[in-house]
Amino acid sequence: MLSALLCVLAISIGQLLFKRAAQALPDTLSFLALLQNGWLISSLVLYGLTTLGWIWTLRHAPLHMAYPFMGLAFLFVPLLAWFFLKEPLTWQTLLGGALILAGVSLAASGGQA
C-alpha cells in the first residue's frame, strides 16, 4: 500500500500548490492569468501524474483496501500547511487526524472481502 500512501501525499502537496495558486491570482481573473500561474500549472501536472499513480495502485490493490488511505489527506494537508505555509494547527485537527489514522489502519487490516 506504499503506492496509495504516496498518492495521498502527492494529492496533499497538490492542495498546498492550489493554495499558492489561489494566493497568486490577480484580482481580475483571466484565462491568461491562469495560464501564467506557475503554482496552478504545477498543481495540475502533479494531480495528473498522481491520477496515473492511483490507477496503477488500483490495478494492484482492491479499492476497498486502497481508498481508505485517501482519508489520510485530512491529516497530511493541515500538517503540511502548518509546516510550509505557517497556518495554525489545532489540537482538534490533530485529534481528528488521529481518528482518521485509526480508521485507515482498521480498514487496511481488514484483508480481502
* C-alpha grid cell, residue 48: 495528473
Where are the alpha helices (H) located in 38-85, listed in sequence order?
38-60, 63-66, 73-85
**How many domains are contained in the chain?**
1
Assess if residue 113 is contained within a domain: no
pTM of the entire predicted model:
0.86
Domain that holds residue 46: 2-108
Rounded distance between C-alpha atoms, residue 6 and residue 8, angstroms: 5
Is there a domain that residue 46 lies in? yes
CA angle 9, 15, 21 (to 5 degrees): 140
Other residues' Cβ atoms within 10 Å of the Cβ of residue 40:
19
In a domain, 27, yes or no: yes
Alpha-carbon distances, residue 69 vs 22, 23, 27, 40 (angstroms): 26, 28, 36, 25
Contact 97, 78 (CB under 8 A): yes
> What pLDDT, on the 0 to 100 scale, is given for residue 112?
54
Residue 103's pLDDT is what? Answer: 87
Instruction: Tell me how far apart the alpha carbons of residues 88 and 67 are, in angstroms, rounded to a whole number.
Output: 28
Q: What is the pLDDT along the chain (113 residues), one digit of tens a residue?
A: 899 999 999 999 999 999 999 999 998 889 999 999 999 999 999 999 999 999 999 999 998 888 888 988 999 999 999 999 999 999 999 999 899 889 888 887 875 54
